[in-house]
Structure 1
Amino acid sequence: MSGLIGTAKVGSGKPTLVPRIDGTVLLDTLGALAAGIGKSPPMSVTTLERVKEQVTTLMTSILRHYEANVAPGEVGPNGTGLATGQAPFKEGCPTGLLYGRVQSGKTLAMITTAAMAIDNGFKVVVVLTSDNVSLVKQTADWA
């Protein structure tokens, strides 16, 4: 997949940010997943390409909402990666929830999204998990 960087017109012709998809954090993460990480077996390139495509769609939405509701120019392929002194445009921050069946790829999606977010100027990734020891251990083994 080539590294698309910049903006594109989507739907109504309004420009939207296209996330950076060739950053070192994402590429290193995908490489580690392809090689096998911790106790996890290697993942196929086909699977990782599908995950990358899905995460790119999600990150496009995240960047669009951040640009419109928080502060333009802070994150994204050409963002500064620095918080401005101004208050967010709208009260409250966009939130999301990741849920799914056991072994459906939630941890893979979270790790890949976090890697792409870092490559796109986000400085902090917060992961909230349950007190289920098996889930905490699984997440720690992947990280």
Structure 2
Amino acid sequence: MSLVKRKNDPWFPSIFDDFFTPNLFGEVINRKEVGVSVPAVNIKETSENFHVELAVPGKKKEDFNIEVENDMLTISSEDKKEHEEKDKEGRYTRREFSYSSFKRAFTLPDNVNAGAIDAKYEDGVLKINLPKKDVSVSGPKRSIEIS
């Protein structure tokens, strides 16, 4: 016995469609069908750093915006493409345009040195290096008064 994928037929709706819909909002929130894409991320911790890698092929380093604010690392990208073909009279024979964007945010651990974060983009992978602070160095001793 094998599994058979069932697709809803828009021309012949079934009274059973509601029972077999994978979620309350139907296929609308299926990201693959509506073109929503969030890049996969790998986070690796070593003794000295955190390494964040995002799989985002087909972009340039200028397409990314990386910000750190209030212990939040935010990585975003926005891409607009337009292609036109016109005939001799200037009428469109074909016009295609697309828009894509993503935004990922990560809360930084307390031991990350936010001032020393660096990034590079190569071979379709955005690599962000988050150096750790030296937490063994403590601040000056102070007394706390009890009120």
Higher strand proportion (structure 1 or 2): 2
More helix by share: 1
State the TM bucket, normalised to the shorter chain: under 0.3
The answer to which structure, 1 or 2, has the higher relative contact order (CA under 8 A, 6+ apart) is 1
